[in-house]
Amino acid sequence: MSSALARKTRIPVCEPFLDGPELDYVIEAVRTNWISSNGRFIREFEEGFSGYVGAKHGIGTTSGTTALHLALVSAGIAAGDEVILPTFTMIASAFALCYIGAIPVFVDAEADTWTLDVDRLEEKVTAKTKAIMAVHIYGHPCDMSALRALCDRRGLLLIVDGAESIGAEVNESRRSTLGDIAAFSFYANKNITTGEGGMVVTDSDKFERNARYFKNLCFPTDGPRNYLHEDIGFNYRMSNLHAAIGAAQLKKADAYVDARRRNAGLYDDGLAGCNLIATPVEKPWAKNCYWMYGVVLTDAATISRDQLMKELGDDGIETRPFFMPMHRQPALKKYGADCSGLFPVADHLSQNGFYLPSSTHLTPETIALICRSLKNSLR
Ligand SMILES: *Cc1c(COP(=O)(O)O)cnc(C)c1O
């Protein structure tokens, strides 16, 4: 263990990187008195981000979680509808379904991409299934061509939790990652950030109208302001202050994604030939945006995941374990979700996987040092 390092540095697992006009924009928002949910940065960020991913509409929200809830409501998902999603995802994917009384149906992960296993999906479709929720785990896109074909064949909506996939592509297209409606997160560790924030994107004029209506307490969208509400809505309005940061970040989106991909390449090289860990893949049709660089211990490893994370921590290197799968969540069992199936791949990932520091602005030297420390502990 390199103890000199341990005392000097801490390498955080992921930090925001604000090296553009963020501060100038926030100051402008304050100076001009536009600090709530109107103002030029909202429009600029909504149009800029939807343009960046290739969607017709972008609707800003307060978080990725609220964007996902709003996307589901806007697409017409209702209480009692079944929605199929990966068990290996972040809890917000499933909670968004619970908020509307929909029924989450879990499917196992693929061993190499860690995204939902399309081959195991169709057997989960029932007469009550309304949609599939695809999640591009840690930045690798799901097999959207296969999902699109399945959804078309079975008359299902394709909803995307894109929180981890800013900058990812399928067949050289960002638009191809979006499905019928997608939700993004701009939490501080995502590929671009507003601190807290999210966005719904869609090509559908109808879904867009719904999203703007529901996110603003279902205020009547035309006619006099009579304070009569026909439906139950939410306040999920993004503020101009958050949008100011987003508009600044967006100018650097390509550079940030390139940086995360360069970092992943350096990790790949630094860890090449080590049969004790599996590293992230990139399918020939995919562009992985490497939100997080994960590694999974193979059966050949003798050290436990938790011990390995501890030793890295002693070297000043912060890591995080992979997600706990949805079928193991007490909250979802209590809610009544069917958690009884077998999900061996997700269980394996959650027991043996963790992610390494993945900030945009990591240096090659830091990555080399992390690889050395990791290989030392594996030995
Ligand atoms: C980060 C994340 C979210 C939630 O985003 P918030 O902005 O933190 O609410 C949802 N789904 C996935 C897969 C995420 O990684």
Ligand 1 centroid – CA 67 distance (Å): 9
pLDDT class for 226, splitting at 50, 70, 90? confident
pLDDT class for 222, splitting at 50, 70, 90? confident
Helical axes 91-99 vs 64-74, angle rounded to 10° = 40
Kindly report, residue by residue over 30-89, the tens digit of the pLDDT.
999 999 999 999 999 999 999 999 999 999 999 999 999 999 999 999 999 999 999 999
Within 10 A of 125 (CB to CB), how many other CB atoms are there? 18
Q: Quick check: 3 pLDDT over 70?
A: no
Exposed e or buried b per residue across 13-51, where buried means at least 16 C-beta atoms within 10 angstroms of its C-beta = bbbbbbebbbeebbebbeeeebeebebbbbebbbebbbe
**What's the whole-number mean pLDDT along residues 217-245?**
93
Q: Quick check: 122 pLDDT over 70?
A: yes
User: CB burial class (10 A; 0-12, 13-18, 19+) of residue 135?
Assistant: buried
> How many whole angstroms separate alpha carbon 180 and alpha carbon 159?
6
In three-state secondary structure terms, 105 is strand
Index of the ligand 1 atom closest to the CA of residue 187: 7
Question: Which pLDDT does position 221 carry in this prediction?
Answer: 82
**What's the whole-number mean pLDDT along residues 246-265?**
97
pLDDT class for 7, splitting at 50, 70, 90? low
pLDDT class for 8, splitting at 50, 70, 90? low
Amino acid sitting at position 85: L
> How many whole angstroms separate alpha carbon 179 and alpha carbon 201?
10
Q: Is the Cβ–Cβ distance between 237 and 216 less than 8 Å?
A: yes
Place of tokens 């079944």: 82
Instruction: State which of 185, 186, 320 you would mutate to test the pocket of ligand 1, scoring each by most atoms of that ligand within 8 A of its C-beta.
Output: 185
Q: At residue 260, what are phi and psi to the nearest 5 degrees?
A: -65, -35
Ligand 1: residues within 6 Å at CB? 63-65, 89-90, 92-93, 135, 161, 163-164, 185, 187, 198
Nearest 5°: the CA angle 231, 61, 108 is: 95
Instruction: State which of 164, 324, 326 you would mutate to test the pocket of ligand 1, scoring each by most atoms of that ligand within 8 A of its C-beta.
Output: 164
> How many whole angstroms separate alpha carbon 58 and alpha carbon 175?
13
**What's the whole-number mean pLDDT along residues 331-348?**
97
Measured between alpha carbons, how far is residue 340 from residues 13, 127, 319 in Å?
Answer: 33, 20, 30
pTM of the model: 0.96
User: CB burial class (10 A; 0-12, 13-18, 19+) of residue 235?
Assistant: exposed
Question: Which pLDDT does position 360 carry in this prediction?
Answer: 95
What is the DSSP code string of 261-322? HHHHHHHHHHHTT-TTEE-----TTEE---SSEEEEE-TT--S-HHHHHHHHHHTTB--EEP
Q: At residue 106, what are phi and psi to the nearest 5 degrees?
A: -95, 145
The percentage of the chain sitting over the pLDDT mark of 70, rounded to a whole number, equals 98
Question: Which pLDDT does position 224 carry in this prediction?
Answer: 79
Ligand 1 centroid – CA 301 distance (Å): 31
Q: Quick check: 120 pLDDT over 50?
A: yes
Q: Is the Cβ–Cβ distance between 187 and 67 less than 8 Å?
A: no
Kindly report, residue by residue over 270-328, the tens digit of the pLDDT.
999 999 999 999 999 999 999 999 999 999 999 999 999 999 999 999 999 999 999 99
Closest CA to 187 of 14, 361, 363: 14
Kindly report, residue by residue over 9-31, the tens digit of the pLDDT.
799 999 999 999 999 999 999 99
Place of tokens 């695809």: 134
Kindly report, residue by residue over 256-275, the tens digit of the pLDDT.
999 999 999 999 999 999 99
Kindly report, residue by residue over 164-206, the tens digit of the pLDDT.
999 999 999 999 999 999 999 999 999 999 999 999 999 999 9
Helical axes 240-250 vs 22-31, angle rounded to 10° = 150
Q: In sequence order, which ranges of 32-100 are alpha helices (DSSP H)?
A: 40-53, 64-74, 91-99
Q: Is the Cβ–Cβ distance between 108 and 238 less than 8 Å?
A: no
> How many whole angstroms separate alpha carbon 161 and alpha carbon 151?
16
Number of helices and strands (H, E) in the chain? 13, 13
Question: Which pLDDT does position 1 carry in this prediction?
Answer: 47
Within 10 A of 76 (CB to CB), how many other CB atoms are there? 13
> How many whole angstroms separate alpha carbon 295 and alpha carbon 278?
6
Q: Whose CA is nearest to atom 10 of ligand 1?
A: 92
| Sign of the CA dihedral running 338, 98, 92, 253 | positive
What mean pLDDT, rounded, does the chain reach? 96
Kindly report, residue by residue over 156-174, the tens digit of the pLDDT.
999 999 999 999 999 999 9
